[in-house]
Amino acid sequence: MKDLINKFYKNHSLIYKALLFISTTFLIVYLFPKSGKFKYNFEKGKPWQSETLYAPFDFAIQKTEEELTQEKNNIEKNSTRYFELDNAVAPFVLNEFNNTFNKAIPDSIKKNRSRLKRIGRDIIKDLYDYGVLNDITTIKDNANITILDNRVEKKKTDFGSLYNLSEVSKKIDSELENSNLKVYSKPLTALFFNIIKPNVTYNRDLTEKALQEAMGKISYTRGSIEKGTLIISKGEVVEGNKFLILTSLKSEYKSQVWNESNYNLIIFSYTLLVALALLMLLLFLRKYRLTVFNNNTKVTFIFFNILLMVLLTTLLVNYNSLYIYIVPIAILPLVLKAFFDARLGLFTHVITVLLLGSIVPNSYEYMFLQIIAGIVTILTVSELYKRANLFISVGQITLVYIIAYFAFFVIHEGSVDTLKWETFGMFILCGLATLFVQPLIYIYENLFGLVSDVSLLELSDTNTKLLKRLSNEAPGTFHHSLNVANLAEASANEIGANAMLIRVGALYHDIGKMNNPTYFTENQSSGLNPHDELSPKESAKIIIDHVLDGIEIAKKNNLPDRVIDFIRTHHGTSSVYYFYKKAQEVNENVDIDDFSYPGPKPFSKETAILMMCDSVEAASKSLKEPTSTKIDNFVESILSKQMEDGQFLNANITFKEIQAIKKVLKRKLANIYHLRIEYPE
């Protein structure tokens, strides 16, 4: 059990990466649309770009949404509304009329009384021949209705034939006016108001049920295509019936491919593709970016950004695939270049675009545009901390999007007459969204503890709290750090290394000397040397400890790990040679390990450059009556000694680059000492 725990602990980093790899793979597959992907891309009104297509199986031609909507509207318009009849109401109303007529109509109109009574009975008969109902305004007058008597159909008519209570008075006025008895309208209307009651009631449930039955009989297809039938030839324009047939084939293909029997197999295949792409990224990191691969936080950060881009694109595809170009994919290489380097940024961008090609329409066009945009991003964006550079680069990225899209459109259409200008607007919105990279980098720095060039620019300010303390407590060391920073920055620019990073590293590399500033010669202004009172071994320990003290101070002040690396490696595993030789004078059996720095050796171009510049600048103070020849020999001697000691074996720096750095150091030192060219005598 103990061995198993020890084995787990030793391999915990690889286990974490495996879990991260598996979880990211499944999350990406989960985000993918759960439908089959038709292997042909086509758009209405554009030429068919693929080979001549024959029907791979029998399928029905589906009706368009417009056709189905029209059919549903027609059914709803012509559907029958059902009403229930109450047979007891009409006799009751007539009886009430006969009983109350004499009381309601005054005796003063005996002359027309019988005639008025007959008209009232005729009105009641007319009203109840079709029916009287409460006010219903949602049904149109020409709508078909059926009146049911005890669930049995009694008559069919249109809704306009029914009377509602508000129309009774109009009916009375009309009949009396035709009989020249208009003067009796008021008492007769009052009588009818008291006795008329509705006798038909709207049966909503039965009406809805009948409508749903009619809707259920709608056919969603019109005609069919047999297997082997020619659908479309290469170069033929996709329009009219061709477009409907292709759309039907695409829909049928999805339903046939994604059925229960092979759903799991297709999901498994998607998983294989995603896993393969992510595996390539991990192998790239392991072979070419080992420091990134060994840092689980950085690997998590890279996978998180890939997942974020897949999520955003999937959401847009599910909402409306026309808007996919609004997603600022170019942010991905921008962010990775800011925290790592251009090569890693571009490689990750290509992997992400390949993954997105599985879910977007017109995948070839999409991938071409995004890969080109990623390349432009890597080539144009430099010194991200300069705001103007970002705006210029975003403009160039947007321009490349527009040019590439225009070229694809002309290839497909053969003209610019139907050019979709709104797509250009999407590219502009994408460019504006890319500007969000600045606050995003700040958020990432706080979430993942990473450092970008923007943060390095802030750290390079000599008015920061830590550098002010260094200038006050160890002014000689501070001046030495400034000189090293200038030498290192010039050297980095010469070979294309990260000049901003190396400048910051140089400014902070000796902050450990603040604990014992007077034990370092650059801070000894009184002429007294405290090492005179110490043994060589004790003196060497104080000198060596400034590296460990510097790491401790840096961590307390929350300096980024990339900066701490310079403190840790700027002496590599070299020895404090002066005190080693002094100790040998006292005792020949001296272990050189007691006089050597703990390391590690420099493991990047930047840390290697700092070691060179630090050693050259510090030793140059011992030059007496410097000349160009002396400086050349002096630089050659120091750097050759470091190379012989194998200090640069772990750094990815070449002999050619070291030679270029030597030239820079020689030139800079000559400028510092104001040397002129030595002319031959």
Residue 332 · residue 397 · CB < 8 Å: no
486 contact partners, CB below 8 Å, separation of at least 6: 668
Q: What are phi and psi of 605, to 5 degrees?
A: -60, -45
- Which range of 349-353, 355-359, 447-451, 668-672 scores highest in mean pLDDT? It is 349-353
pLDDT of residue 679: 45
Q: With 90 as the cut, is the pLDDT of residue 514 above it?
A: yes
Angle in degrees, CA 517, 519, 522, rounded to 5 = 70
Instruction: Return the CATH fold of 453-672.
Output: Hypothetical protein af1432 (1.10.3210)
pTM, to two decimals: 0.62
pLDDT of residue 156: 75
Which two tokens mark 443? 């958020």
CB atoms within 10 A of CB 459: 20
51-64 tens-digit pLDDT: 777 777 777 777 77
Q: Any idea which residue has 């020689």 for tokens?
A: 666
Mean pLDDT of 191-220: 82
Which two tokens mark 245? 């047939």
Q: What is the DSSP letter of 229?
A: -
Q: With 70 as the cut, is the pLDDT of residue 232 above it?
A: yes
| 496, containing H or E segment | none
Question: What does DSSP say about strands 81-85 and 200-202: parallel, antiparallel, or unpaired?
Answer: antiparallel
* CATH 1.10.3210 placement within the chain: 453-672
Residue 105 · residue 168 · CB < 8 Å: no
pLDDT of residue 307: 94
C-alpha distances in Å from residue 188, one per residue of 94, 110, 123, 125, 399: 14, 14, 11, 15, 83
pLDDT of residue 111: 64
Where b means 16+ CB within 10 Å and e means fewer, 376-394 reads bbbebbeebbeeeebeebb
Please give the Cα distance from 628 to 636 (Å, whole number).
Answer: 12
Residue 441 · residue 335 · CB < 8 Å: yes
Mean pLDDT of 600-615: 93
Lowest average pLDDT, out of 44-48, 109-113, 204-208, 552-556, goes to 109-113
pLDDT of residue 529: 80
Which two tokens mark 463? 């008015």
Peptide bond into 600 cis (omega under 30): yes
Mean pLDDT of 330-335: 90
Q: With 80 as the cut, is the pLDDT of residue 106 above it?
A: no
Residue 190: which pLDDT band, with cuts at 50, 70 and 90?
confident
Please give the Cα distance from 646 to 200 (Å, whole number).
Answer: 105
Please give the Cα distance from 202 to 204 (Å, whole number).
Answer: 6
Residue 8 · residue 290 · CB < 8 Å: no
Q: In the chain, how many H helices and how many E strands?
A: 28, 10
Helix (H, G, I), strand (E, B) or coil at 197: coil
Residue 292 · residue 299 · CB < 8 Å: yes
Q: With 90 as the cut, is the pLDDT of residue 490 above it?
A: yes
Please give the Cα distance from 276 to 220 (Å, whole number).
Answer: 41
Q: What is the DSSP letter of 49?
A: -
Kindly write down the DSSP assignment for every residue of 148-180, as one continuous string.
EETTEEEEEEEGGGSEEGGGHHHHHHHHHHHTT
Please give the Cα distance from 119 to 131 (Å, whole number).
Answer: 18
The burial class, CB within 10 Å (0-12 / 13-18 / 19+), for 534 is middle
Q: With 70 as the cut, is the pLDDT of residue 153 above it?
A: yes
Helix (H, G, I), strand (E, B) or coil at 486: helix
Where b means 16+ CB within 10 Å and e means fewer, 482-513 reads bbbbbbbbbbbebbebbbbbbbbbbbbbbbbb
607 contact partners, CB below 8 Å, separation of at least 6: 505, 565, 566, 569, 570, 651
Residue 561: closest CA among 445, 427, 473, 405: 445
What average pLDDT does the structure give for the chain?
A: 83
| 54, containing H or E segment | strand 53-54
pLDDT of residue 33: 66
| 144, containing H or E segment | strand 144-149
Which residues on adjacent β-strands are paired with residue 334?
none
* Bigger pLDDT: 508 vs 107: 508
Which two tokens mark 308? 């974020």
Residue 508 · residue 502 · CB < 8 Å: no
Residue 255: which pLDDT band, with cuts at 50, 70 and 90?
low
Half-sphere exposure of 48 (CA within 13 A, CB side): 19
